[in-house]
A and B are shown apart, each in its own frame.
Chain A
Amino acid sequence: MTDLTKVGMADMNTVYSPGILTTLGLGSCVGICLYDSSTKISGLVHVMLPSSEQIKNNSNTAKFADTGIVKLMEDMLKMGAKRSRIVSKIAGGSQMFNFNDTSDIMRIGTRNVAATKETLRMLNIPLIAEDTGGNYGRTIELYSETGILLIKTIGYGMKQI
């Protein structure tokens, strides 16, 4: 087994090939994988909330989609990744509990995914694959050698994107 680097909630990490990045039990949070196919430098950030604006305690950049993706990209560039070659894959953003009303907080998964896509678009990072939404948890593994993202669930099988 190649070494597996864990990324916690509101946390990020980067690896060189052949490192593997993983985050366990994504629910309404979103796991954003950035990958440079030329250098195989890979990064993963596990964000909890869409935006760092209007949040008084926002010092942890990895907690928010808007600041987390930017910071992850900067870290990868410092490692030698090429800006123009970076692509992304995302997973998570589910709604774990179902309620009839659609208050903002119950739709947090959807909002996290939307904010993630918006940030990626603003940074001109292509989104090449996603496995988002639903009402179940996901464990994901990003293989830097191939750029493959493996997604494991309970009761909804396993897949690669």
Chain B
Amino acid sequence: MGISIEELNSLQIDVLREIGNIGAGNAATALSKMISKRIDMDVPKVNILEFRNVAELVGGPEVEVIGIYFKVTGDITGSILFLLEKKSARLLTNLLMSRQLEEEEMDEMDLSALQEVGNILSGSYLSSLSALTNLNLIVSVPSLALDMAGAILSVPIILFGQVGDKVMLIETDFIEGINHVKGNFFLIPDEDSFEILLKSLGVI
């Protein structure tokens, strides 16, 4: 039987937070290299939320957001969802392509740039996780969707929903100058993988 989020103790949550912290740090470094600009970040927040409260993080279930989804295989299996608000997505594409667009509508070019960023961020996240746990982890090519927050969030919520009624997510805030790019990472180990992950981190 899998471990549900509800069953985690405070030590386990602390360790997951620390992983989030290191992962986000590496992701910020990768992003910084990509755009050749200094990127700072706030300490990521690990949130454990009831399903009904998740969409409120981005302003409600009908707000348009961008989701970049990856599958993880190797010693553990699972998925990663990187969720970006449209405003943050625009800031990110502006940074990448050195321009100052205001409008929030995304074209193909923007979406493919975001997919690439998602790729890099998730890759650096996973490689730090892999280094910390000694687990072999392989990340799939990303799949991107632009839609209502509720619809996109239904994917991680359903995955978490198989074992409980809460989700865990890591809120990150990358800062470039006065710009804040806020993103949420959902790390979703499959049922049996959560235990392997916690074991390899020495907290089970």
Contact = CB atoms under 8 A, between A and B. Distances in A.
A48 interface: yes
Interface in A74-101: 94, 96-99
Q: Does more than half of chain B's interface fall in helix, strand or loop, or is it mixed?
A: mixed
B154 A96 contact: yes
Contacts, number: 102
Contact of B51 (A9, A27, A55, A57): A9
Interface in A26-58: 26-29, 48-49, 55-57
Given A97-B145, A154-B147, A154-B148, A10 B154 contact: no
A105 interface: yes
Nearest to A60: B165
A136 B147 contact: yes
B71 A48 contact: no
Interface residues of A, number: 30
B158 interface: yes
A138 B151 contact: yes
Nearest to A26: B151
A63 interface: yes
B112 to A, nearest CB: 15
A139 B155 CA distance: 16
Interface stretch (B32-40, B57-65, B176-184): B57-65
Interface residue range, chain B:
20 to 34
B78 to A, nearest CB: 10
A94 to B, nearest CB: 7
A9 B157 contact: yes
Contacts of B60: 24
A26 B155 contact: no
- 4 shortest interchain CB distances as A-B pairs: A25-B150, A137-B151, A27-B154, A27-B151
5 contacts: A9-B150, A24-B62, A25-B148, A48-B154, A99-B143
